[in-house]
Amino acid sequence: MEDMSGPHVIRGSVSLPEAELVWRFSRSSGPGGQHVNTTDTAVELRFDLARTEALPEVWKQRALERLAGRLSGGVVTVRASEHRSQWRNRETAAVRLAALLAEATAPPPRPRRPTRVPRGINERRLREKKERSQTKRGRSPKNWD
């Protein structure tokens, strides 16, 4: 079997450990003729997020919270079947999993510091509203009684 194109980095020096990845292959649907009927090109990649030692504990807890809806027994699953070659589907699945974990382990955004709208901007907005109102009022037909 050909080697994967290197470690798939989640963030910084943390990457997906090849030993903790569980691969499953099945027949893919779609075009491909007789080739599709004989080869297992669809890929399912499973990663046990709850038991992994590869991620720092803080990242792991963050990912478990954010991916709670996608997890099945603490395991996250990614499927790939868009390519006709198993190798390319393996690459796609690994990249997808790394991106998913990178997003799930990212630190939360800094809280927004509330600011007031500057007085000049508010006054300009009100002045423009008044001008627009006058323009529209000038277009309406007068009382022709």
Local confidence band at 2 (pLDDT 50, 70, 90 cut-offs) = very low
Local confidence band at 120 (pLDDT 50, 70, 90 cut-offs) = very high
Contact, 54 vs 34, CB < 8 A? no
Q: What is the distance between the alpha carbons of residues 79 and 36, in angstroms, rounded to a whole number?
A: 17
Q: In terms of residues, how long is the chain?
A: 145
Q: What is the DSSP string of 24-90?
A: EEEPPPSS-THHHHHS--EEEEEEETTT-SSS-HHHHHHHHHHTTTT-BTTEEEEEE-SSSSHHHHH
Question: Which pLDDT score is estimated for 6?
Answer: 64
Q: What is the mean pLDDT of residues 73-86?
A: 87
Angle of the 57-66 helix axis to the 86-105 helix axis, nearest 10: 100
- pTM confidence score: 0.67
Q: What percent of the chain has pLDDT over 90?
A: 29
Regarding predicted confidence, which is higher, 122 or 140?
A: 122
Contact, 45 vs 94, CB < 8 A? yes
Regarding predicted confidence, which is higher, 129 or 67?
A: 129
Q: What is the mean pLDDT of residues 28-34?
A: 64
Position of tokens 């974990």? 101
**pLDDT exceeds cutoff 50 at 1:** no
Q: What is the mean pLDDT of residues 21-48?
A: 77
Instruction: Write the DSSP symbol of residue 131.
Output: H
Report helix, strand and coil shares of the chain as percent, to nearest 5. 40, 15, 40
Which tokens sit at 34?
Answer: 């007789």
Question: Which pLDDT score is estimated for 85?
Answer: 84
